[in-house]
């Protein structure tokens, strides 16, 4: 269990992010078009998992926008923004913000991602949502970088995540 804060108040997650060097857990998540995908659908690509509580918050929206902006310079890297938002809300957000290089994924049908990645918030007012975290996977789905953002209201360390993704190419 990791402890993070929400505006300075401690909250807990369901576990810890996968350790660097380990094989990433598989997942089943739902895209905006309501099709389900798993980790194997992105086989052979470097992956940035941008895990967020909800795209309806300013910081989550900012991270999706930032990664969308950076995506063009990353080459064979796919950026997956993962939340418990409904796919309809994710799609509406992307259309309104002009986000077209980030793939949004929802835990609509299968809620095991948060537990498998240790990112489900278990206490406090945001219990049931996902924490703010970044996990970078290499082409073979090995974890090469993680960041459990210590304060939910702050943005992740973009440059470190982007550098890890570039290095994994």
Residues serving a catalytic function are: 60
First and final CA of the chain: distance in angstroms?
31
Neighbour tally for 74: CB within 10 Å: 17
- Give Cβ neighbours of residue 101 (< 8 Å, ≥ 6 apart): 68, 71, 72, 79
Question: In 98-157, which residue ranges form alpha helices assigned H by DSSP?
Answer: 113-116
Rounded to 5°, angle at Cα 58 from 92 and 82: 60
What's the CA gap between 59 and 131, in Å, rounded? Answer: 12
What's the CA gap between 141 and 146, in Å, rounded? Answer: 13
């Amino acid at each position: 269990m990791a402890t993070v804060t929400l505006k300075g108040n401690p909250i807990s997650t369901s576990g810890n992010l996968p350790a660097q060097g380990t094989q990433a857990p598989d997942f089943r998540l739902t895209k905006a078009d309501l099709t389900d995908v798993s980790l194997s659908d992105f086989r052979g690509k470097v992956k940035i998992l941008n895990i967020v509580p909800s795209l309806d918050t300013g910081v989550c929206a900012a991270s999706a926008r930032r990664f969308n902006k950076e995506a063009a310079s990353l080459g064979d890297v796919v950026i997956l923004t993962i939340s418990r938002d409904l796919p309809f809300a994710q799609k509406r957000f992307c259309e309104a913000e002009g986000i077209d290089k980030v793939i949004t994924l929802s835990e609509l049908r299968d809620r095991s991602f948060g537990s498998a990645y240790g990112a489900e918030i278990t206490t406090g007012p945001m219990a049931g949502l996902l924490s703010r975290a970044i996990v970078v996977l290499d082409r073979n789905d090995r974890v090469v970088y993680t960041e459990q953002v210590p304060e939910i209201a702050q943005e992740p360390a973009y440059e470190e995540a982007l550098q890890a993704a570039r290095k994994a190419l």
